Amino acid sequence: MSKRKHRSSDESNNKRARSEQVEDDEEDIVGPSQATLPTAPSVKTTGEVGLVESIFLKNFMCHSLLGPFPFGDNVNFVIGNNGSGKSAILTALIVGLGGKATTTNRGISVKGFVKEGESSADVSITLRNQGREAYKFEVFGPSIIVDLRISSEGLRTYKLKSKTGQLVSTKKEELVSILDHFNIQVDNPVSILTQEMSKHFLHSKGEGDKYKFFMKATQLEQMKDDYTYIMTTKAATKNNIEKHEECLEDLKHKYLEKKDKYKSLASLDEMHSKLEALQHQMAWALVAEMEKEVRPLRERIVVEEKGTIKYEQKVEEWKGKVVEAEKMYKQIHDKLESISQRVQQLQPQCAQLKSQAQECSKACKAAEASCHRIKTNLRDLEKDKEQLTKRIDELKHSISQSRDADTTERMGRICRLQAELEDLSHQDSTLNQQINQFQQVVARCQEAQNRIELEKKELLKDTDIKRRALRGLEASRTDRIKRFGEQMPNLLAAIDEAFRKGHFRKKPVGPLGYCIRLNDPALAVAVESCLKALMMAFCCDNYKDEKTLQGLMSRHYNNLKRPQIIVSEFSDSLYNISGKAVKHPEYPTVLQALEIEDPVVANCLIDMRGIETILLIKSNRDARQVMQQGQPPRNCREAFTMDGDQVYANRYYSCEQQRAQFLSRDVEEEIRHLQKEIANQTAQVESFQHQFKEMEGDIRQNKTLLERAYQESKRAQEKSRKLQREIGDLQNVEEPQSEDLRPLEEELQEICEKIAVARRECDVAQQQASKLKKALEEAEMKYRQHKDIVSSVTEEADPIKDELSKSDQEVEKSKHHKKHYEEKRKAHLVGIQKQKADLDIKEQELRVAFERATAICPAVAVNRTAKSLDSEISRLKQKINTQQNQHGDRDEIIRQYQEALENYKNIALQVKNLRKFTELLTKIMKDRHRAYEDMRMLLSVRCKYYFDSMLCQRGYTGKITFNHQKETLAISVKPGEGDKAALGDMRSLSGGERSFSTVCFLLSLWAIGETPFRCLDEFDVYMDMVNRRISLDMILKIADGQRSRQFIFLTPQNMSSLPVNKLIRVHRLNDPDRTQTVLPFGQRNQEEAEG
């Protein structure tokens, strides 16, 4: 059935009345000579909706490009020879507006309209959309553009656009709505008449074909089909009524049976009443029990809210500990800063003492050189004295011959004693010098011994540490855990055993250094220097596990330092550190440099060391630049270099650790390195021992020589005193001197005086050298002592650094515990909120139960439990079921009774309504059929009238004979005038006369049609020149009388005789050029003003 329905008969009658009124007016205006021509007055208005403004074709049929054709508002002629594209325009108009391919009689499928060799064809049609009856004017505007694309597979794609080209819809339903609104019927021969349809209907010799053409053109055929469908439906409805009436008797019988069974249920009402009462009590019993469940929940929430104070106190307690730990950290930090300042203050004095020792050394060397020079001079004087004494002795020997034996003997005795005294004096000076030298050698050897012993002890201690590390490394070839000490494997085995026995709530994790991996092996020393003791540390989930682990460690670490134990609740996920972590584009944090699988290990290192806030910068210079030149990176507390140096914003601490102990990947290289260092240190120890033994021998030998020199010096001094007394006694005896001996003796005396002076100078020089040596020793001692002070102060910084690290860990630990209790408090509060939510749910359930019980019945006192009530209800239901089994289920019987009653009533009502409907439909269809016959009669009369009027234009007479019962239409035409010729069948007419008669018939159908445009293909193909001229004049007059309609005529004729009129537009198509892909066309637009 067609989607487009005809307008109501009233509207059609009104329009026809208006059309007839217009035609009457036209007859009055034209005058008596054309009183019978069915035309309207020449008005200035044009059609507002549904007119074809333009059409454009691309790759359609055999044309690559055709158009666009801007059609006029009234009459349009498209002229051209065969192949120029006239039929393509008509076919495109039908297909473009949704018509079927078979309607065009040009093919059975639209894919045949795509030009050969192309993938698609395009048709664009612009329809007018103006005035009060415009279709969605606010969307489309004054024009609607219908674009159709046909693919080579036969697929149609529509695009409906506004005047501006904006896409509005792609649905064909929208196009159908537009065509319905504009009353455009592409399959109606009045709207579009093709040559094939004209041959089939108009030129057909069968009267039935012409009648079908009349019915189709006036849409009476569609009305007839609708009535036929309705009558068929009515007959089917009557059959259904008869079937329902048969069913109705059966339903009534079934209903009466169910009614009798329903009346037999009265005996069960009492038990049902009792059951209902028990169910009422059950509803309120459930309310009472729910109130009992809610009461302890309320009490528990009160207790839990009181318990919140405990968590508040814990949080405050750990806040205080955080403050204390931070205060202690600041104190230790200040202490370390003070030590650094002391070292800086002692450095200048140490340099000064070193300079003083160097000056004393220079002065001592100068004094020793002066002493040596004086001793050389003294030896020369002693030689001179020896020679002069020998000369005097010789002279005295010659003189002694004249003296007596006593004098000679006395003088010889004095000389011998003086010589012996000189020897003793020289010997004593030499012994004093030897004593000083021996004392210095012994002191230096003892000092060297002490230094060697201290260095040997440190070396042995370091060697022992390296040997243990070597054993761990050698063992780590097969088990990496042995790097962490010989006791560690046994401790881990004991932890596993204790965990299997259930001694731990959660298995401790550690050592932490074993649980981490380095991404960059070059940063091993830096990471170990950062983590320090944490490399050996363990992490426990709770304090009970910590106590158990302490017991295990006490068995495996008797007198050794135990690993640190950190207590922190284990978490399966890593902390959210996005807000406090360092983010540097170039340098990683310790956390980023490590590969940590266990989140417990990562969280522990974050808590205890803050590894997310520590940068690793390989270069010392870069580290100082990042941390100490300008502001350090955000959230960065410190940094470590590749050598393990620790860098703060205003401090720098060097690292003594040379190589990585735990994180090195190349074990063999580390083993070779340790073996080499141990061998070197062992050789150094042996060298120290050999030096120590040599020093002991030197000390013993020098002490022996020193004691011997002391004894010899003591004896020489005693003997010298005796000789001096004896010489004094002998010199007191007077004796005559020879004149020859006097000058020599005076010279000897002078030499002796010089020797005495030289000896005194030598003693002074020796004393000065001794003082300078003593000053040098004191300066060196002060320098060593000051250096030792600096070293001790520097050594003081090491434990303070450890204390600072421990204090930092304590701060982090306190913060962790504060955070722990804050989270506990939060979880506690969440638990309270959950309990409150549960209480709200219970109270809501209680309210619902109360409302449900209230809806069931008013509140009743219940002394029984829900369980006992449920038991009694079950027993009563069982009793009811027993009786119902005898009589049948009560509810089922009631339900069946109600269903039977309802079905009976429904079917009875349906039968009644259907009966009324068929009666009403019969009456309506009678009225409608009468209206249909009236309308068919009126249209037939109008068609006859218009046909007679148009034949008069040629001087013909004729008539149209309708036989609606036989569905035939006969046309009789008499070409002559008056009674010269009799009416005859159209088959007796010539070709031109028959074509003219066909045009008159078509124009009579146009006069009663309502479509906005009419398209006619080669209407004059069989006419002679006279009939063509008359037909054309008639068409133009009809068109002039119907300005609101659009006429499109396709003809191969020249049409050069057309009158000049602004309402006529001629589109002339040129003959196709076979060498071109685009067909040009000419257009003659006759728009000059009339007259």
Q: Which domain holds residue 9?
A: 1-188+1022-1091
167 pLDDT band, cuts 50/70/90, is: very high
For residues 1001 and 1028, membership in a common domain is answered with no
**537 compared with 751, residue with greater pLDDT:** 537
Q: How far apart are CA 554 and CA 148, in angstroms?
A: 94
1013-1017 and 192-193 strand pairing: parallel
For residues 978 and 1028, membership in a common domain is answered with no
For residues 932 and 1006, membership in a common domain is answered with yes
Residue-wise DSSP of 419-452: HHHHHHHHHHHHHHHHHHHHHHHHHHHHHHHHHH
824 pLDDT band, cuts 50/70/90, is: confident
Q: How far apart are CA 662 and CA 447, in angstroms?
A: 39
User: What pLDDT, on a 0 to 100 scale, did the predictor assign at position 1062?
Assistant: 81
Q: CA nearest 1022: which of 994, 988, 1043?
A: 994
Residue 367 buriedness (CB in 10 A; 0-12 / 13-18 / 19+): buried
**Angle in degrees, 0-180, between the axes of helices 220-263 and 207-217, rounded to the nearest 10:** 70
Residue 26 has pLDDT above 70, yes or no: no
Residue 11 has pLDDT above 80, yes or no: no
Is residue 223, in this structure, part of any structural domain at all?
yes
For residues 1052 and 911, membership in a common domain is answered with no
Number of independent structural domains in the chain? 2
CATH number at residue 31: 3.40.50.300
Residue-wise DSSP of 803-836: HHHHHHHHHHHHHHHHHHHHHHHHHHHHHHHHHH
Q: How far apart are CA 872 and CA 129, in angstroms?
A: 81
Residue 69 has pLDDT above 80, yes or no: yes
Q: Which contacts (CB < 8 Å, 24+ apart) does range 729-738 have?
A: 730/410, 730/413, 730/414, 730/417, 731/414, 733/410, 735/403, 735/407, 735/410, 735/411, 738/395, 738/396, 738/399
User: What pLDDT, on a 0 to 100 scale, did the predictor assign at position 1091?
Assistant: 30
Q: How far apart are CA 974 and CA 983, in angstroms?
A: 5
The upper half-sphere exposure of residue 558, i.e. CA atoms within 13 Å in the direction of its Cβ, equals: 0
Q: How far apart are CA 40 and CA 1041, in angstroms?
A: 4
For residues 977 and 954, membership in a common domain is answered with yes
User: What pLDDT, on a 0 to 100 scale, did the predictor assign at position 238?
Assistant: 83
| Of the residues 958, 975, 1010, the one at which a domain ends | 1010
If residue 20 lies in a helix (H) or strand (E), which one and from where to where? helix 9-30
Spatial neighbors of 76 by CB under 8 A, at least 6 apart, are 1046, 1047, 1048, 1049, 1064, 1065, 1066, 1067
For residues 217 and 175, membership in a common domain is answered with no
User: What pLDDT, on a 0 to 100 scale, did the predictor assign at position 401?
Assistant: 55
When mean pLDDT is compared across 603-617, 638-652, 842-856, the lowest value belongs to: 842-856
Residue 530 buriedness (CB in 10 A; 0-12 / 13-18 / 19+): buried
Spatial neighbors of 1027 by CB under 8 A, at least 6 apart, are 954, 992, 993, 995, 996, 1020
Is residue 24, in this structure, part of any structural domain at all?
yes
**460 compared with 471, residue with greater pLDDT:** 460
User: What pLDDT, on a 0 to 100 scale, did the predictor assign at position 507?
Assistant: 92
Q: Which of 384-393, 442-451, 640-649, 658-667 has the highest mean pLDDT?
A: 640-649
Cα–chain center distance at 411? 124
Which residue in this structure is represented by tokens 């529509």?
A: 158
What is the overall mean pLDDT for the chain? 78
For residues 990 and 1030, membership in a common domain is answered with no
Angle at 241 between CA 236 and CA 247, to 5 degrees: 130
Q: How far apart are CA 831 and CA 842, in angstroms?
A: 16
For 836, other C-beta atoms within 10 Å of its C-beta total 16
The span from the first CA to the last CA of the chain, in angstroms, equals 51
Q: How far apart are CA 773 and CA 507, in angstroms?
A: 69
Q: How far is CA 739 from CA 22, 406, 742, 743, in A?
A: 197, 20, 5, 8
Residue 504 has pLDDT above 80, yes or no: yes
Is residue 141, in this structure, part of any structural domain at all?
yes
Spatial neighbors of 890 by CB under 8 A, at least 6 apart, are 265, 268, 272, 880, 884
Is residue 328, in this structure, part of any structural domain at all?
no
Q: How far apart are CA 873 and CA 879, in angstroms?
A: 10
pLDDT-above-70 percentage for the chain: 85
Spatial neighbors of 92 by CB under 8 A, at least 6 apart, are 55, 57, 60, 113, 123, 125
**139 compared with 187, residue with greater pLDDT:** 139
Q: Is the peptide bond before 142 cis (omega within 30 degrees of 0)?
A: no
Task: Answer whether 609's CB lies under 8 Å from 640's CB.
Answer: no
User: What pLDDT, on a 0 to 100 scale, did the predictor assign at position 352?
Assistant: 76
pLDDT digits (tens, 9 = 90+) for 903-922: 888 888 888 888 888 888 88
Q: How far apart are CA 721 and CA 731, in angstroms?
A: 15
- Spell out a b/e string for 292-329, using b for 16 or more CB atoms within 10 Å of the CB, else e: eebeebeeebeeeeeeeeebeebbeebeebbeebbebb
Which residue in this structure is represented by tokens 């000065």?
A: 768
Q: How far is CA 867 from CA 480, 877, 1012, in A?
A: 67, 15, 85
When mean pLDDT is compared across 151-155, 808-812, 961-965, the lowest value belongs to: 808-812
| Of the residues 979, 1010, 1041, the one at which a domain ends | 1010
| Token pair recorded at residue 455 | 């260095």
Farthest CA pair distance, the chain: 230
Secondary structure class of 404 (helix, strand, coil)? coil
The stretch 134-153 carries a mean pLDDT of: 92
pLDDT digits (tens, 9 = 90+) for 505-560: 999 998 998 899 888 888 888 998 898 889 889 999 988 898 899 888 888 887 77
4 pLDDT band, cuts 50/70/90, is: very low
For residues 180 and 211, membership in a common domain is answered with no
Secondary structure class of 67 (helix, strand, coil)? strand
Secondary structure class of 1021 (helix, strand, coil)? coil
Q: CA nearest 1065: which of 1047, 1090, 1038, 1091?
A: 1047
Q: How far is CA 755 from CA 1, 382, 625, in A?
A: 162, 7, 72
User: What pLDDT, on a 0 to 100 scale, did the predictor assign at position 261?
Assistant: 67
Task: Answer whether 421's CB lies under 8 Å from 724's CB.
Answer: yes
For residues 22 and 124, membership in a common domain is answered with yes
Angle at 1063 between CA 1059 and CA 1068, to 5 degrees: 70
When mean pLDDT is compared across 71-85, 160-174, 758-772, the lowest value belongs to: 758-772
For residues 232 and 99, membership in a common domain is answered with no
Is residue 402, in this structure, part of any structural domain at all?
no
User: What pLDDT, on a 0 to 100 scale, did the predictor assign at position 127?
Assistant: 93
When mean pLDDT is compared across 297-301, 636-640, 776-780, 985-989, the lowest value belongs to: 985-989
Is residue 922, in this structure, part of any structural domain at all?
yes
Q: Which of 94-98, 718-722, 830-834 has the highest mean pLDDT?
A: 94-98
Is residue 94, in this structure, part of any structural domain at all?
yes
Q: How far apart are CA 913 and CA 244, in angstroms?
A: 12
Which residue in this structure is represented by tokens 């003088």?
A: 411
Report the chain's C-alpha Rg in angstroms: 68
Task: Answer whether 599's CB lies under 8 Å from 576's CB.
Answer: no
The upper half-sphere exposure of residue 627, i.e. CA atoms within 13 Å in the direction of its Cβ, equals: 27
pLDDT digits (tens, 9 = 90+) for 924-943: 888 888 998 898 899 889 88
Q: How far apart are CA 21 and CA 41, in angstroms?
A: 10
User: What pLDDT, on a 0 to 100 scale, did the predictor assign at position 146?
Assistant: 94
pLDDT digits (tens, 9 = 90+) for 705-720: 878 877 887 787 787 7
Q: How far is CA 164 from CA 18, 168, 279, in A?
A: 36, 11, 75
For residues 1002 and 1080, membership in a common domain is answered with no
Q: CA nearest 817: which of 1087, 507, 568?
A: 568
CATH number at residue 945: 3.40.50
For residues 1006 and 1049, membership in a common domain is answered with no
| Of the residues 954, 985, 1010, the one at which a domain ends | 1010
Is residue 994, in this structure, part of any structural domain at all?
yes
- The strand ranges marked E within 932-986 are 957-963, 968-974, 984-985
